[in-house]
Amino acid sequence: SFGGFEFGYIFVSAQRRRGEMEEIMTKDVLDYFKTICSIPHPSGHEELLGNYIEEFAQNNELDYARNEIGDIIIYKEATPGYADHAPILLQGHMDMVAEKDADSNHNFLTDPLEIYEEDGYLHATKTTLGADDGVAVAIMLALLSDNSFKHPRLECLFTVQEETTMDGITHVDKDWIHARKMISLDGDVVGETNVSSAGGVQLTIRKNATFVESHDQGYKFYVKGLLGGHSGDAIKEGRGNAIKIAGLVFKACLDNGFDIRFSSLNAGQKANAICRDGLFTFQSASNKEELKAFIHERMEEQKALYPLEPLDYTLEEEQSGYVILDSDALIHFLALCPYGVEKYSYYFNHFPVLSLNLGIMETTEKVVELILLIRSENEINLKLLVNEVETLASLFGLSVTPSDEYYGWSYAPDSQLRKSYKEAYKKAYDKELKEVPTHGGLETGYMSRIFPDMDIVTMGPNCIDIHTPQERLEIKTLYEVHDFLKNWLGEL
């Protein structure tokens, strides 16, 4: 049974005889995917699936390598007549996002996924399915075990930890890769190919917090109701950010002579999510009614700037307490810090290639931190914007610490591999292949950084609601992508 974890465990233990193992290996692409679902493989815990893939290579007598972090590459020599064709790199990641419904008892570290078919789709019961990117693993295994089609030399790369740290792709040995044509199998819409991705860096802005006692009126200012969203996607919609809105309101207060001294600033939960709400506590010696009326006017102005978002706020009085010295520095930085899309693509209408998101603000007994995320397709633009933020922070005595940097993949207008892909797709389906840039991060960014001459395309079956327990895979499209790729490889 493909749903039984016992299969995965026995396979890893390599207890089956060679003949039985060969029988197991003879599967179609959906069977491979179902087997993958029977082997636990959440991000950071891909070892069992890696063992399965390694055993697969051994039993199919294919050359392979595996590194300490768990990445695997398997080689398949070219078929007769294709030895002089350029090798092709196929790539996907082994790990899956581990999300489940609140009432699910599933243990992603030990339990097989409970999968079922319904109306042409494959689902998992109350959990993510892991079609992102188990389908890539399944497609590569199906092609590697199939000797019925013509192809150049294949280099099949299986990486780990794509969904979390990207540590897998960054630890791949350069010497493993000889191909300069890469087909990423991390796509999730049939008929679309990604043509670029964003790199990024997280910046942590810090202000050492010295608290002093105050006896002025205290206030709780709560900004709420914004739509938020993923900063790789929704940033282009121009959505409001609670941190930025609060900064602008407080800056207007200072400009008009009002006294503002923070007690705490807490907003947002993730650096890569547009901040939907935030609670800002402060004290002021200014006239209560005048201050309240002024903040109300400024918030009404902000509401007018975001007519499609249910932006709202509350401003409540509270007792006096402690305040942070030199709150003005934070206010000025928040008001002046860049936010949103900084640059749009020359090739794709209204598509961002450089942006900055204000993600999280946190206050402790010793420090106030603002965590922001810059995304850029181009490394030069990324460095320029980082420098702009660092310069601004230094003017107000704030420190900046970069972390979690990853690389972008710039659009290549003259990609020969994409040209071949588009021609083959048109021939197969009598439809145009859609070119889609993404402002999110992909493993292709690292590959294009390490191999600047790597020609890259992406593909994949229809995977809906990925990263949620509603995730599902359209089964017929898994076969379509597998069959298309199998035929196209014979033309490369």
Per residue in 37-67, pLDDT tens? 999 999 999 999 999 999 999 999 999 999 9
Supply the pTM of this predicted model. Answer: 0.84
| Domain span(s) for CATH 3.30.70.360 in the chain | 200-406
The pLDDT of residue 3: 32
Question: Residue 365's pLDDT band (boundaries 50, 70, 90)?
Answer: very high
The yes/no answer on whether domain 200-406 falls in CATH 3.30.70.360 is yes
Per-residue pLDDT tens over the stretch 237-296? 999 999 999 999 999 999 999 999 999 999 998 899 999 999 999 999 999 999 999 999
Q: How much is the average pLDDT of 137-163?
A: 98
The pLDDT of residue 20: 41
Whether the per-residue pLDDT at 228 is higher than 90: the answer is yes
The pLDDT of residue 27: 75
Q: How much is the average pLDDT of 220-240?
A: 94
Per-residue pLDDT tens over the stretch 344-353? 999 999 999 9
Q: At residue 239, what are phi and psi to the nearest 5 degrees? A: -70, 150
| Domain span(s) for CATH 3.40.630.10 in the chain | 5-197+409-489
Q: Which fold has domain 5-197+409-489?
A: Aminopeptidase (3.40.630)
The pLDDT of residue 19: 40
The pLDDT of residue 233: 85
Per-residue pLDDT tens over the stretch 370-421? 999 999 999 999 999 999 999 999 999 999 999 989 999 999 999 999 999 9
Q: At residue 70, what are phi and psi to the nearest 5 degrees? A: 120, 0
Per-residue pLDDT tens over the stretch 376-390? 999 999 999 999 999
